[in-house]
Structure 1
Amino acid sequence: MDTRVALISIIVEQDDAIEELNTLLHEARQYIIGRMGIPYRAKGISIISIAIDAPQDKISALSGKIGRLKGVSAKTAYSNVITPAEGGAGD
């Protein structure tokens, strides 16, 4: 399956969601290129960026699951960088 590079931006407003968020990210670890977390203590939130290279459906599913967590907002930005699956039409 073709993969696509994307960035998932996450804002965590409730600490209760952090454990479940980390579980979701752990389950997607084979696709995650990198992760940056910034605790914004003055506002009581955490800002997290996830760089990911995965099939479109995996990215959408992960972003959707994250966005459904109570106290968490997520947005995804997709690049135009798409890598054809091995054995695909481009090989």
Structure 2
Amino acid sequence: MEKRIALIGIIVEDKEAVENLNSQLHEYGSHIIGRMGIPYREKDINIISIVLHAPQDVISSLAGKLGMLKGVSVKTVYSKK
């Protein structure tokens, strides 16, 4: 299956979701190229960017699982290459 490069943007508004979120990311760790987290203390949220190189179904699966977490918003952007 062809692999794609994708960026998953995550906003965490409920800190109780962080443990489950990190567990999911660990499960998909072999596909993750990089991760950047930015705490926005003024608004009490965390912003996380995940870059992956994986098959489409793996990227969609991770984004779907993360999006089901309470207090977590997710959007995915794909490279055209």
TM-score, normalising length: structure 2? 0.99
* Structure 1 Cα separation of the partners of residues 61 and 55 of structure 2: 10
Q: Which runs of 4+ in 1 moved over 2 A?
A: none
Tell me the equivalent position of 2:67.
67
2:66 partner SS: helix
Unaligned runs of 5+ in 2: none
Identity fraction in percent? 63
Larger Rg: 1
2:4 partner SS: strand
Aligned length: 81
Structure 1 residue 70: Cα displacement = 0.1
* Structure 1 Cα separation of the partners of residues 59 and 37 of structure 2: 19
Tell me the equivalent position of 2:35.
35
Structure 1 residue 80: Cα displacement = 1.4
1:30 partner SS: helix
The answer on 1:14 being equivalent to 2:6 is: no
Return the letter of the residue paired with 1:39: P
1:61 partner SS: helix
Unaligned runs of 5+ in 1: 82-91
CA displacement 1:28-50 (0-9 Å, x = unmatched): 00000000000000000000000
Return the letter of the residue paired with 1:72: V
